[in-house]
Amino acid sequence: MVDIDFSEKDLNPDLPKIGWVCTYTPEEIIHAAGFHPFRILEETPSTKLADTYLHHNLCPYVRSCLDFGLKAEDPTLKGIVIVHSCDAMRGLYHSWQHYVSATPFVHFMNVPKDTGALALEYFTLEVQKLKADLESHFGRKIEDSALWRTIDLYNESRSLMAELYELRKSPELQIKGTTVFKVIQASQKMPKESFNKKLKSFLEEIKNQTAKTSLSQGPRIMIVGSLLANSQIIEIVEESGASVVFDDLCSGSRYFEGNVEQGDDPIKAISSRYLLKAPCARMKNTELRLQRGKKLVEDFQVDGIIYQTVKFCDNHLYDYPLYHESFQDAGLPVLQIEEDFIGGNRGQIRTRIEAFIEML
């Protein structure tokens, strides 16, 4: 079975960089400004530092981001873009502004919850503001030509990721979920230039596999929810004789699904892609999320759903009953798993997943 690994240098290159924390961040703007946009997404054994600034009743991902900022000593770290994706992110922005000194550039961006014409018009202004803020802070102009080049690069990356995910439609799986997890995590951290090269050659390698040993023919699982800091759920699923065949996660398909379309105005094109992308639970149109889920279940022949939430993630917690109603009541089993982002509760999570898969 083919596998892939990413070195520390791949994941943390010595380039001037700007961090982001939510997939509604239009990375292309940051990249076209000459910075390496990377997602702050680390599993941390504890968020001790951040816990003195943010209450333990707030999302542990957000606390891990603040912890990262408070510890950061990397001179190549030039800034952060925080998106108002939820209440906890708003809190992150307040704390980052006041207590993190590592990033001279801090930008807060509004993202509507709606996707209609008015919302898109407003979001386009927000994307323009990010561009203007980067230009004025760093004294450099972001040309349209640079934006189009970046869009091509990012579109290529998204298409490659989609190709990788598409491979999992086959009933005879040739790639492990844990391997896909490594790729998707790297895609959010590595410069797209080197990531695309590496993924292209990995895809070739998969196609050219001579010994086509396929994975278990056990139940096919889709993970739906907020985001994964580590691969523990996927590992447990695979160790239990099942396979993860798709995800609807912020750190998964919601990151790369849908390309920026060509047009006259790169800002408008970028804004459309980001606002109208596969929706997070924060968005108004829950129906659209459920419809997407139903289509994925069909396309990827899903036998069961693991609904994963990061603790205290209200948007996803409030959507869980709807998932239960829409899938479980229609005969597709759903298991809710709550994670604390610091790798806790492993034993309990294992027992629940094993029982779930046995039931399937």
Partner 1 sequence: MNDKNQLKVTKDMLKKESFYIKSKLMNKMRKDTTRLRATQKMTDMVLDLNHEAVKGEKPYVLTTIWAPSEILYALDIIPICVESTATSLAGFGLSDEFLGIAEKNFHTPETCSILRCGVGAVIDKLFPQPQAVIAATHLCDAGAKVNSTASRVYDCPYFLMDIPQERGEEAVSYVAKQLEEMAHKLSDITGRKLNKQKLAQAIELSNQARKYALRVNEIRQAVPSPMRGSEALGYLYLVGLGFGSKEAVDIYRSMARELEKRVAKKFTPIGEEKYRLLWLHVRPYFKSRFFHYLENEQKASIAFEETNHVYWNELNPEQPFRSVAQRLVLNSVNGPIDSYTDILIDFAQKYKVDGVLHYAHWGCRWNYGRLRVIKDAFQKKGIPFVSIDCDSASGQNYFEGQLNSRIDTFLDMIG
Of 268, 33, 28, nearest to 128 by C-alpha is 268
CB closer to partner 1 out of 220 and 282:
282
Comparing CB distances to partner 1, the nearer of 84 and 198 is: 84
User: Which residues of this chain interact with partner 1, rule CB under 8 A?
Assistant: 52-55, 57-59, 84, 86-88, 90-92, 94-95, 97-98, 108, 110, 112-114, 118-119, 121-122, 125, 282, 284, 286, 311-312, 314-315, 317-322, 324, 336, 338
Count Cα neighbours of 229 within 13 Å in the Cβ-side half-sphere. 25
Smallest gap from Cβ 314 to partner 1, in A, equals 5
Query: Please, which residue, 104 or 321, has the CB nearer to partner 1?
Result: 321
Measured from the CB atom, is 235 or 338 closer to partner 1?
338
Taking the complex as a whole, the smallest distance from the CB of residue 289 to partner 1 amounts, in Å, to 11
| 84 sits in which H/E element | strand 77-84
Q: Which C-beta is closer to partner 1: that of 116 or that of 263?
A: 116
Q: Where are the beta strands (DSSP E) in 275-333?
A: 304-310
Shortest gap between Cβ of 110 and partner 1 (angstroms)? 4
Give the shortest CB-290-to-partner 1 separation in angstroms.
10
Closest approach, Cβ 346 to partner 1, in A, equals 20
Contacts 24+ apart (CB under 8 A), 330-333: 332/297, 332/302, 332/303, 332/304, 332/305, 333/303, 333/304, 333/305, 333/359, 333/360
- End-to-end CA distance of the chain, in Å? 25
Q: Given the complex with partner 1, which of 25 and 240 has the nearer CB atom?
A: 25
For residues 229 and 161, what is the distance between their CA atoms, to the nearest angstrom? 19
Q: Residue 106 Cβ, how far from partner 1 at the closest point, in Å?
A: 12
Minimum Å distance from CB 360 to partner 1? 20
Nearest CA among 130, 141, 165 for reference residue 22: 130
DSSP 142-194: --HHHHHHHHHHHHHHHHHHHHHHHGGGSSS--S-HHHHHHHHHHHTTS-HHH
Question: For partner 1, which is the closer residue by CB, 12 or 286?
Answer: 286
Strand 77-84 and strand 304-310: pairing?
unpaired
